[in-house]
Chain A
């Protein structure tokens, strides 16, 4: 049995994998609902795969994927009960504009994240590792360290805030030479 050219399939799979983080963070920012964002990402992936024959290598995968994601967000909002929605329609539109405007920053943020993590104090880095890599909840962390949950929450808050500011500073520092050039 003859098979069609596999190259488009491979490129499509690469593009799918490469855009998962960008899509999930976009959906999360627009919906304000982390659990729903995972469901919507799944729906978006299914639609992308179903329509994969329409994809042409070299075309703008991101623009296409984000259009599908926005449609899936609207579809989810119509299905979800009003009490489930975190943001109203107007705010969803504003957040979509803001989050898509920041989309290109995702890869740059990821690039500087390792360095920013390495600069965190060990205690903060450790709590980030256990929370996100080992998937421990705040309650798990509190139980296993003997500290109270509020102290752990504060430690996580400071760690994430330090990471955010360090990443922001790194990105702005990257831009300065190009602005002066």
Chain B
């Protein structure tokens, strides 16, 4: 995919960028959504811009290394202003503690990877030697791997499972542990029959 696109006359329109940003954030009202739709229907540049903002916002919300980089106290070492943009600090009190920020840092795809690994390994344990990882054709089995996987994802708060809670800045996030959530589920749903 070529990064460059042929911008049309509307590509630099601030209104398009505003609508694309608000649309990517999910903040458009009905009239604005129709306006964005019309723009997207007629302009390839508009589609490129909207898809680009969706990628930008998802990366800002979820990329773990980015969160870690922004938490570094001395980052960035050299601030080079972008053209035409005034410098200045946003005056506001510091967050009450760093614990919330660290917790938010965990709300990332690394958690997803951990949860997926737990889910797949759970499937391995359940599927055993009969297949990898979720065979559903075992005769006489009442297990429902997908519900276990879903429960594991939901209990761990996988990104995508729950939207970020509005008005909860810095709220602590707890990670699912094998002992707290999957193990009782396995004990109640699986061990009685499979006895592993």
A167 to B52, CA, bound (A): 10
By a CB distance below 8 angstroms, the chain B residues around A62 are none
| Binary contact readout A32-44 vs B (1 if CB under 8 angstroms, 0 otherwise) | 1111001101100
A134 touches B109 (CB 8 A): no
Q: Tell me whether B58 is interfacial, beta carbon within 8 Å.
A: yes
Tell me how far the C-beta of A34 lies from the nearest C-beta in chain B, rounded to whole angstroms: 3
B37 CB, min distance to chain A CBs, angstroms? 6
Tell me the dominant secondary structure on chain B's binding face.
helix
Q: Among B93, B110, B121, B163, point to the contact of A9 (Cβ < 8 A).
A: B121
A59 contacts the other chain (CB 8 A): no
Residue tally, chain B, CB below 8 Å to A = 102
Interface string of B81-96 (1 = CB under 8 A from A): 1100111111111010
A137 to B164, CA, bound (A): 10
- Are B59 and A13 in contact, CB atoms less than 8 angstroms apart? no
The interface size bin for chain A is 35 or more
In the complex, are the beta carbons of B113 and A21 less than 8 A apart?
Answer: no
Least CB distance, A97 to chain B, in whole angstroms: 8
Complex: how many Å from CA A101 to CA B51? 10
- Interface membership of A58, Cβ < 8 A: no
Contact residues, A76-135 vs B (CB, 8 A): 86-88, 90-91, 94-95, 98-99, 101-106, 108-110, 113-114, 117-130, 132-135
B17 pairs with A161, CB closer than 8 A: yes
Q: What secondary structure prevails in chain A residues at the interface with B?
A: helix
In the assembled complex, B66 has its CB within 8 A of some CB on chain A: yes
CB distance from B196 to the nearest CB of A (A): 5
A-B contact pairs, 28 of them (CB 8 A): A1-B196, A13-B116, A14-B113, A20-B160, A21-B58, A24-B159, A25-B55, A34-B25, A38-B160, A45-B153, A49-B123, A53-B135, A91-B37, A91-B41, A95-B47, A113-B59, A114-B66, A118-B78, A121-B85, A121-B87, A130-B92, A133-B104, A135-B169, A136-B169, A137-B169, A146-B91, A157-B21, A164-B53
What 11 additional pairs, Cβ within 8 angstroms, besides A50-B146, A109-B59, A122-B87? Answer: A1-B129, A20-B159, A20-B160, A32-B37, A34-B163, A87-B40, A94-B41, A98-B44, A119-B82, A121-B87, A132-B60
Chain B positions near chain A (C-beta within 8 angstroms): 1-4, 14, 17-18, 21, 23-26, 28, 33, 36-37, 40-41, 44, 47-63, 65-67, 69-71, 75-76, 78-82, 85-93, 95, 100-101, 104-105, 109-110, 112-113, 116-117, 119-121, 123-125, 127-129, 131-135, 145-146, 149-150, 153, 158-170, 196
